[in-house]
Structure 1
Amino acid sequence: MPGELILRKADFFASPDQAVAVADRYPQNVFAEHTHEFCELVLVWRGNGLHILNDRPYRITRGDLFYIRAEDKHAYASVNDLVLQNIIYCPERLTLNLDWAAHIPGLHGSHWSPHWRIGSSGMAQARQVISQLEHESNRQDVLSGGMAELLFAQLVLTLSRHRYATDNLAATDREALLDKLITALAGSLNRPFTLEAFCVQEGCSERGLRQQFRSQTGMTISQYLRQLRICHAQYLLQHTEQMISDIAMMCGFEDSNYFSVVFNREVGMTPGRWRHRSRVT
């Protein structure tokens, strides 16, 4: 397409042989839709933003993990203190004898589910490996490339061990309270969520949890859940023929009129207009 933004290997890798590198985003600013000549792993450390991947919106925050293929188009919008890291890599340059496709969704045509979550324990382990990987990928000695690839393999396996589906509350049994809350919210898109009941179940302070959530994500709990529901509604409006009233119910809004008011406030247009525009652009 004319004017399509493509991120080139030569601009991000130190040499034509380098297989992997780390691209910090402290913070990640608004970034126009683009594709790459390489693949990347995206791990979100804090803050929030809107990640639009292949026309699907995702409200992202701490612990979100994405596997991005070279041909995927994505963009970042509505960012708020969004801190993430991109681990970029060229599959054809990897030399280590590892079944990479078994651990990286979408690689070489393997089953692809782009969006996952990583709990606090997995994030801590990944952060250590990424720090070492970044150090090695910036070195120029004869062993740095091999060391970087070994660390990338360790990172890929660490993420494979600790990742879980975004709404899989059972997977967070041993994770931090904030991980459990974010996962519970992702699993409550089509039904009411009561923070008081969650806190009783977990034996925690509601006030303290509210403060912790806002500190890490930059949003209130209700804002985050509302935006998750709106993102889900946008996907359904674009990719299904469901009536708007039915989509409202599927996204946790019992009153379709109220849904339209909230959608208009968050997106800047009515659900019907957004559906029409998303299908003609």
Structure 2
Amino acid sequence: MGSQLILRKADFFPRVGQAVAVADRYPQNVFAEHTHEFCELVLVWRGNGLHILNDRPYRITRGDLFYIRAQDKHSYASVNDLVLQNIIYCPDRLTLNLDWAGHIPGLSGEEWTPHWRLGSTGMTQARQVITQLEQESIKTDALANNMAEVLFAQLVMTLTRHRFAADNLAATSSEALLDKLITALTGSLNRTFMLERFCDQEQCSERALRQQFRAQTGMTINNYLRQLRICHAQYLLQHTELLVGEVSTRCGFEDSNYFSVVFTRETGMTPSQWRQRRNEAAQEGPVLR
């Protein structure tokens, strides 16, 4: 196997000893698999792409939030006007007496959930803090590091307050319609999703919702849901012994033959071929979990 790409502190932190910085991706292009000498928070503002984290694919779009540890390997592929920000930080350089591990999933090395969602309210508040943090992190005066760390603490708390599990529809009760829709789609991977029923429940225009979704994500609703299901199928094929027909059912496809056609069209391989390829790749070297 080729050597692993590692992003170095010296290339991303302007000052020696700096604890926090902001790396904008306007847009985020395809980026090869890599690890870091630092940790990062990833917030997606618009567009879409395929984020592969520790061999698990995630179809990402507006509102997705990831907590990435230094040793985690990830990459970006199939991007479409993907706009995100990376808030990068070095835990060993943080000096505030704050329970960082209690608010940043995975920081202590325990089992952690890397993928969360932010609704419109959380995104608005987080963006305001990030704007201040970005300005402070490029200053050179004596208080710059301390000010940046204080703002980072505020951001971490803001995310803790507003984040929710990607399929937790109940958490979106006070959020914008688009937030509810994306969460409802994520929560319907194993069953049919009826957009008409959703619009009736929310008393909204189906046509307007379709237009809003495409404007923010760069995808149609049907395409987004199909991509979510294919990502889930890839995960199940790699990490379980389920038969292809069982994977099909768990990913919302009533017909396993149709599932195979869609999977092949999206990935260039049949489900069985994809599973074999991933198994062979896993045997070539250790895979992070």
Question: Do the structures match in fold with TM over 0.5?
Answer: yes
String of CA shifts for 1:49-103, please: whole Å, max 9, x gaps. Answer: 0000000000000000000000000000000000000000000000000000000
- Cα deviation for residue 108 of structure 1 reads 1.9
Aligned partner of 2:73 in structure 1 is 73
TM-score, normalisation: structure 2: 0.96
Matched letter for residue 119 of structure 1: G
3-state SS in 1 of match to 2:21? strand
Matched letter for residue 138 of structure 2: N
Matched letter for residue 140 of structure 1: T
String of CA shifts for 1:170-206, please: whole Å, max 9, x gaps. Answer: 0000000000000000000000001000000000000
Aligned partner of 1:251 in structure 2 is 251
Aligned partner of 1:161 in structure 2 is 161
- Cα deviation for residue 27 of structure 1 reads 0.1
Preserved CA contact (<8 Å) 1:5 1:35: yes
Structure-1 separation of matches of 2:44 and 2:74: 15
3-state SS in 2 of match to 1:43? strand
- Cα deviation for residue 4 of structure 1 reads 1.0
Deviates more, 1:207-216 or 1:10-19: 10-19
Matched letter for residue 153 of structure 1: A
Aligned partner of 2:200 in structure 1 is 200
Structure-1 separation of matches of 2:13 and 2:57: 29
Aligned partner of 1:242 in structure 2 is 242
Preserved CA contact (<8 Å) 1:32 1:75: yes
% identical aligned pairs: 78
Structure-2 separation of matches of 1:70 and 1:204: 43
**Superposed counterparts of 1:5-20, under 5 Å:** 5-20=5-20
Structure-2 separation of matches of 1:107 and 1:121: 25
Aligned partner of 2:226 in structure 1 is 226
Matched, 1:91 2:81: no
String of CA shifts for 1:9-39, please: whole Å, max 9, x gaps. Answer: 0000112210000000000000000000000
Aligned partner of 1:118 in structure 2 is 118
**Superposed counterparts of 1:171-210, under 5 Å:** 171-210=171-210
Matched letter for residue 136 of structure 2: E
Aligned partner of 1:133 in structure 2 is 133
Deviates more, 1:107-116 or 1:89-98: 107-116
3-state SS in 2 of match to 1:242? coil
Unaligned runs of 5+ in 2: 282-289
- Cα deviation for residue 3 of structure 1 reads 2.0
3-state SS in 1 of match to 2:215? helix
Preserved CA contact (<8 Å) 1:102 1:110: no
Preserved CA contact (<8 Å) 1:63 1:123: yes
Matched letter for residue 173 of structure 1: S
- Cα deviation for residue 229 of structure 1 reads 0.2
3-state SS in 1 of match to 2:108? helix
Structure-1 separation of matches of 2:55 and 2:188: 23
3-state SS in 1 of match to 2:101? helix
Cα root mean square deviation, aligned: 0.7
Aligned partner of 1:266 in structure 2 is 266
Structure-2 separation of matches of 1:75 and 1:208: 33
Matched, 1:46 2:75: no
For the structure 1 residues 98 and 110, does the alpha-carbon distance in structure 2 shift closer, same or farther, using more than 3 Å as the test? farther
Matched, 1:59 2:59: yes
Structure-2 separation of matches of 1:63 and 1:14: 28
Unaligned runs of 5+ in 1: none
Aligned partner of 1:33 in structure 2 is 33
Structure-1 separation of matches of 2:264 and 2:78: 16
Matched letter for residue 197 of structure 2: A
Preserved CA contact (<8 Å) 1:101 1:110: no
Structure-2 separation of matches of 1:2 and 1:261: 32
- Cα deviation for residue 2 of structure 1 reads 4.3
Aligned partner of 2:149 in structure 1 is 149
Structure-2 separation of matches of 1:3 and 1:30: 19
